Amino acid sequence: MISIGAQWAVLQSAAWISMAVSYSIKAGSLTKGLSETFDGEHPCPLCCVVKKGTESEKKDPKQETAKKKLELFTHGRAIVVIAPSDAEVDHGAATQVAQARAEAPPHQPPRCA
């Protein structure tokens, strides 16, 4: 989760939930509380922490190097699979087994008394 930055999404979600509850109680209306939560003009301390954290991750040179290494790793070889033609495959053995199993067994199986 940390490698893809999901911790910031979790923290931001928690901040929005707490803001929606507190602003709705303060305003006395759910719609006013939600509008204050998502207008961007009333950030809470946790929102500020999330903003600073996401900005610092964007500027982190170690992450940029890791992304470049991952891109180099993913660009690469094409895999070609060549299936044998019907002339190269012997269907005779499989057909004989299928025919042998289609017939009834030569003897009845033993029964327990």
- Distance from chain centroid for Cα 18: 27
pTM above 0.75, yes or no: no
Q: Predicted confidence band at 18 (pLDDT cuts at 50, 70, 90)? A: very high
CA torsion sign for 100, 105, 106, 109 is: positive
SS3 of residue 88 by DSSP: coil
Q: Cβ-count burial of 37 within 10 angstroms (0-12 exposed, 13-18 middle, 19+ buried)?
A: buried
Residues in CB range of 46: below 8 A, 6 or more apart: 11, 14, 15, 18
Which residues form the domain of 20? 13-58
Per the prediction, the chain carries an average pLDDT of 77
Whether 22 maps to a domain, the answer reads yes
In a domain, 26, yes or no: yes
pLDDT band at 89 (very low <50, low <70, confident <90, very high): low
The answer to whether residue 48 is domain-embedded is: yes
Segment 90-101 mean pLDDT: 64
Position 36 in a domain: yes
Token pair belonging to 44:
């809470």
| 35 domain-assigned | yes
Backbone angles phi, psi at 17, to 5 degrees: -65, -45
**pLDDT of res. 109:** 76
User: Residue 39 domain-assigned?
Assistant: yes
Q: Give a yes or no: residue 89 inside a domain.
A: no
pLDDT for 17 equals 92
**CB of 44 closer than 8 Å to CB of 15:** yes
> Is residue 112 included in any domain, yes or no?
no
Reported confidence tier of residue 97, pLDDT bands at 50, 70, 90: low
The total number of structural domains that make up the chain? 1
